[in-house]
Amino acid sequence: MKQVHIMDHPLIQHKLSIIRDKTTGVKEFREVINEIAMLLCYEATRDFPLKEVEIETPVAFTKTKVISGKKVAIVPILRAGLGMVDGILNLVPAAKVGHIGLYRDPETLQPVEYYCKFPNDISERDVIVLDPMLATGGSASAAIQFIKNYGVKNIKLMCIIASPEGIAKMQADHPDVEIFCAAKDERLNDHGYIVPGLGDAGDRIFGTK
């Protein structure tokens, strides 16, 4: 089973406190979500392969390393995953971006798909799926199954807050997917919200409530 990385770096913990706070406004919430995504990306790309190239500095010729290997696609789960895209593209600007639209039915908590658009060559890419909240795990699991159906072999999931239930579901459904998150919270409440969590991530990013 692939590892679950819970990144408790002080910068991440500090930024998490900002987005958990219910008095934080939309502008700051959006900025900090992207900053955390960027910090998570640093760890999620640690295994990127390198190749040696020769370059000339102002002083001498030297051998140095650049990223090689498979190309990357990031796939935000709409809507809230969109809030993490710019943070990742700051560090991996050549990544292509696919989109998958899922919303959670408020009664059944089951994910309902409403949109999908992937790069044509997605099956040849490594994919990082983005969603700030891993609650029941239904949305992430369904999105990842969808991406696997396109023939993608190497998938990582990046979220900001995960519940124990969501991690367990991911490990049961997709043990081959490595998870990177900023915090593992206590539990879900009766409405499927993460406790203490940060509330509804989509509404807080887009100001819809």
Q: At what angle do helices 164-173 and 138-148 cross, to 10 degrees?
A: 20
Give me the 74-103 binding string for ligand URA, x by CB under 6 A, dash otherwise: ------x-----------------------
Longest dimension (CA), the chain: 66
Q: How far is the CB of 23 from ligand URA (least distance, A)?
A: 18
* DSSP-assigned letter for residue 175: T
194 binds, among ligand PRP, ligand URA, none (CB under 5 to 8 A by kind): ligand URA
Tokens at 76, concatenated: 């935000």
And the tokens for 123? 């099956």
Whether 108 sits among the annotated catalytic residues: the reply is: yes
Report the residue from 135, 152, 157, 167 that binds ligand URA according to the rule CB under 6 A: 135
Return the number of the residue (51 or 209) whose C-beta is nearest ligand URA.
Answer: 209
Tell me which of 143, 155, 201, 205 binds ligand URA, using CB under 6 A.
Answer: 201
With CA atoms as reference, report the closest residue to 74 among 92, 48, 52. Answer: 92
Given a contact cutoff of 8 angstroms between Cβ atoms, the answer to whether 179 and 159 are in contact is yes
200 noted as active-site residue: yes
Residues known to be catalytic: 104, 108, 200, 203
